[in-house]
Amino acid sequence: MQTDLKKIVAYSSISHMGFILLGLAALNTAGYSGAVFQMFSHGLISAALFMIVGMLYERTHTRDIGEYGGLAKVMPQTFFISLIAVMANLGLPGLSGFVGESLVFYGAFSSVNLSGSLDYVRISAAVATLGVIITAGYMLWMNQRVFYGETPSSWLKLKDARRDEIFVLAVLIGLSLLYGVYPKLISEIFEPQLVASAQSIASLFITK
């Protein structure tokens, strides 16, 4: 129902925070690793998406999705970068968003039930899987409404991304791709500490 381009990206950013909390609630190394990795991934993907929204607003002075359409014809470079950013945001394999979310889900579904009754972590993880499907739906819907279809006459003379904008976006998207293909570049930095933290925290809960 949301028609404001910036608000959609903001709500997807909140969704990423939910995955981070789910990973922390798992109380194991996989969940913690997924949460930390998701923080890195979120910093790259959301920054790229917010920048793209800013670029579009600078040129059109509107964030209403209903006023866009067909921008791929006049802004092909922006469209290409936006498509990759959207795919990274919805967790496409090979990009950093997939690594963080998959680790979070693995940690949540393999967590130990410490509540003694309902396994709230696994239930939350099952509900969160719907979030992945919904995210894919509204992000692809947003991208389709903005870049596909007929181009309004008022947007036919829009300028494509400048070199400085392409450089910044290329760095963000490139890092997302690099960490998606080779996540060990980040994980080997924080995982040793997370293993010790997960063991100590879990032992406190199990003792109680």
pLDDT digits (tens, 9 = 90+) for 174-193: 999 999 999 988 888 887 77
**How high is the pLDDT of residue 206?**
57
The dihedral sign for the CA sequence 110, 125, 43, 89: positive
Q: How confident is the model at residue 21, as a pLDDT?
A: 93
Residue 26 burial (CB < 10 Å; 0-12/13-18/19+)? Answer: buried
The 3-state DSSP class for residue 4 equals strand
**Spatial separation of the C-alpha atoms in residues 51 and 6, rounded to whole Å:** 10
Instruction: Name residues of the chain where pLDDT drops below 50.
Output: 208
* Cα separation, 37 vs 71, whole angstroms: 33
DSSP, res 133: H
